[in-house]
Structure 1
């Protein structure tokens, strides 16, 4: 089969050095080491420096489009280059993708427009953002899962909150914002991580990173009302737990529920609206507790849904000493293993926290325990650590459900590194 890149853009795809030297205006070609091409033919979106054999043509600058070729110099993809980052090339189109969308070949702005439009179409299929759906908060762009490595975007009602961690996208911010405004009404809040962008070789000036405005927007998720802060934790709302909160709501009638690390109160509120006799949330952040309490008022459940500022481990120890017991405990701690190197130390923390949570679960009650660490989701998973916690507590478990985020958080099957959220529901005997 004729390579689509050569057929569609022959002038841009030299495959020998002499032709390239004679045509210096052509796009640089990143040649992979022999044996490294299979991953990228299958769609893997990240080329690491160790996979690169050579670069033909002029040295590409930060964010420049480049052709990716196999060891025989046959083009197999194209992407954007970064001479500083561990993500040397972020692939935007494999050959198969280029066949489907030839208009975007070697055009990052067109690739952005196409990816955003495709992502918006998927959310429409999922019924998200549709009037009358009862949900106005969801993930619109999920990085590699939506073909835009380094970008996430969450819709919070009439605001789109962008988190940009890649230099190639920061350099094309106007194109990203324009594409988002074409599919979602309202303001775009652009959040950056200067440290991550510095690792990408890009310094962000003082005028390029907005100050926190303290704005609260009202959103709805499965009929539950929330105040969300676009400059709060994450994007201001943890839309990835939407389906898991719905499960707690379906199980809560007549039960007593504890929500540990509750942030804006999602699990506790869902339980209360599901008919829980009592729901309580704890979080270490004063700001989170204030927001959660206001959300209880919004939903008319403040009489049965209360919140308290406390450190998770200390609170669970003290609650156990007081003899507190619950029918359902939800444990959703912050990221404890930011990378695989940290997993061994984090494993002990997960076991300890789950032991403390189990002590508060009545025999036969339920524990929903979570991890937002990619190292856990991509490795052994959460279940072995929860089993260890149960063994140490002399409790038995029955696994009822294993889940991750909702379908608005798609994952590229050729890039499992995109998986991060683990959610495990167990019965504790």
Structure 2
């Protein structure tokens, strides 16, 4: 096995089980490993540190897998990791009111670059690293053994694969292709998921718990659901007694699927209105029209893909939340989220404080939102904590 030698003094993070080794920490590579090949990482004195995937095209040159030298990362190692991840979600899926979740969450499940989402009897897979790409036959075989899905679909059509020297990949990996809409259950609500054409892997199951929490605040209230996608917060609000829900998204497919989901759940369509529009433009239009709401949900896409984008993203988050605050009735609730891993919760709170100042509002933080149990946070990998949110009362 090819050895990668760290520079002197660069082993601390590795010993603390952080799974990333950046290219600048490497002193020497003995040999020419192929991208995605498993290598032995050793310190400057020649002592074994860990096994990991190597990639000379990525800023993260080694993605670590195993720290025990006596436990080689062969096919059985990968099978055991998959089985462990599936088993850890068993209780979540046993309730009967939820049959969709994230089965494998990349580094958090010790499989860097592998995302697997379960949508009823189908699996949606994203492969983001060359190492995982190299062992996909084993992964697919083990997923079939563990879950016997009707089909496994590849949604690796993301530009981030270019950082690993990979092209986009899309299509059926095993079994049959999914139908146009796969019906799944989450918290007792049925959703139609378009795996092939939907955003990301098809659905945002990371908001499952937060949808349920917010539903406890909406009875008899007027709700504005921004970046609504296929209606996670909208459907929960209608089911739990909201007086009205206005849903805004720029995607025509999302708006169409939301309408189908309302019918699918026998909810009162008369209480809901959809607006296909850019959210920021629509918020300004609502402001100019003098519209007000009791509860507003702001769940935007990732504004800060890296720390270098944090200043620009902070300005975007501030402006978005300022507009939201201006549209709330006195004492109304703002449920606001960031899925940018580069923005921590304290920074997000500061951004909201700036937004409140610009809006001339007073804000109380009354609840915090986070990612659910199927998106676990690995203790040695704080970068895995990406989703955070705050429930704010605005005066």
User: Normalising by the residue count of structure 2, what TM-score does the alignment of the two structures yield?
Assistant: 0.94
Does structure 1 residue 223 correspond to structure 2 residue 188?
Answer: yes
Gaps of 5+ in 1: 1-26
* 1:110 Cα offset (Å): 2.5
* Correspondent of 2:258 among 292, 300, 305: 292
Looking at structure 2, the residues matched to 349 and 203 of structure 1 have their Cα atoms a distance apart, in angstroms, of 31
Instruction: Indicate the residue corresponding to 1:141 in structure 2.
Output: 104
* 1:299 Cα offset (Å): 1.2
Question: What's the CA shift string for 1:155-188, capped at 9, x where partnerless?
Answer: 1111111111111112222111112222223111
Looking at structure 2, the residues matched to 317 and 194 of structure 1 have their Cα atoms a distance apart, in angstroms, of 31
Looking at structure 1, the residues matched to 286 and 352 of structure 2 have their Cα atoms a distance apart, in angstroms, of 20
Q: Residues 255-334 of structure 1 correspond to what in structure 2 (within 5 A)? A: 255-301=221-267, 302-334=269-301
Instruction: Indicate the residue corresponding to 1:129 in structure 2.
Output: 93
Question: What's the CA shift string for 1:395-414, capped at 9, x where partnerless?
Answer: 11110122221011012222
Greater shift, 153-162 or 295-304, is seen at: 295-304
Instruction: Indicate the residue corresponding to 1:337 in structure 2.
Output: 304
Q: Is the 8 A contact 1:164 1:193 kept in 2?
A: no
Instruction: Indicate the residue corresponding to 2:171 in structure 1.
Output: 210
Instruction: Indicate the residue corresponding to 1:163 in structure 2.
Output: 126
Aligned CA distance change for structure 1 residues 90 and 297 (closer, same or farther; 3 Å): same
Instruction: Indicate the residue corresponding to 1:79 in structure 2.
Output: 52
Which structure has the larger Rg over C-alpha atoms? 1
Aligned CA distance change for structure 1 residues 374 and 135 (closer, same or farther; 3 Å): same
Instruction: Indicate the residue corresponding to 2:367 in structure 1.
Output: 401
Looking at structure 2, the residues matched to 350 and 368 of structure 1 have their Cα atoms a distance apart, in angstroms, of 13
Looking at structure 2, the residues matched to 392 and 202 of structure 1 have their Cα atoms a distance apart, in angstroms, of 44
Three-state SS of the structure 2 residue aligned to 1:376 is coil
Instruction: Indicate the residue corresponding to 1:176 in structure 2.
Output: 139
Looking at structure 2, the residues matched to 272 and 181 of structure 1 have their Cα atoms a distance apart, in angstroms, of 37
Looking at structure 2, the residues matched to 137 and 305 of structure 1 have their Cα atoms a distance apart, in angstroms, of 25
Looking at structure 2, the residues matched to 243 and 40 of structure 1 have their Cα atoms a distance apart, in angstroms, of 33
* Correspondent of 2:80 among 102, 106, 114: 114
Greater shift, 387-396 or 417-426, is seen at: 417-426
Looking at structure 1, the residues matched to 248 and 148 of structure 2 have their Cα atoms a distance apart, in angstroms, of 34
Instruction: Indicate the residue corresponding to 1:413 in structure 2.
Output: 379
Looking at structure 1, the residues matched to 319 and 159 of structure 2 have their Cα atoms a distance apart, in angstroms, of 31
Question: What's the CA shift string for 1:370-419, capped at 9, x where partnerless?
Answer: 11111113x74311111111111111111012222101101222221222
Gaps of 5+ in 2: none
Looking at structure 1, the residues matched to 147 and 178 of structure 2 have their Cα atoms a distance apart, in angstroms, of 21
* 1:237 Cα offset (Å): 0.6
Looking at structure 1, the residues matched to 80 and 25 of structure 2 have their Cα atoms a distance apart, in angstroms, of 28
- Output the aligned Cα RMSD: 1.8
User: Normalising by the residue count of structure 1, what TM-score does the alignment of the two structures yield?
Assistant: 0.86
Looking at structure 2, the residues matched to 159 and 31 of structure 1 have their Cα atoms a distance apart, in angstroms, of 42
Q: Is the 8 A contact 2:36 2:129 kept in 1?
A: no
Aligned CA distance change for structure 1 residues 113 and 40 (closer, same or farther; 3 Å): same
Question: What's the CA shift string for 1:20-65, capped at 9, x where partnerless?
Answer: xxxxxxx111111111112111111111111111223x32122222
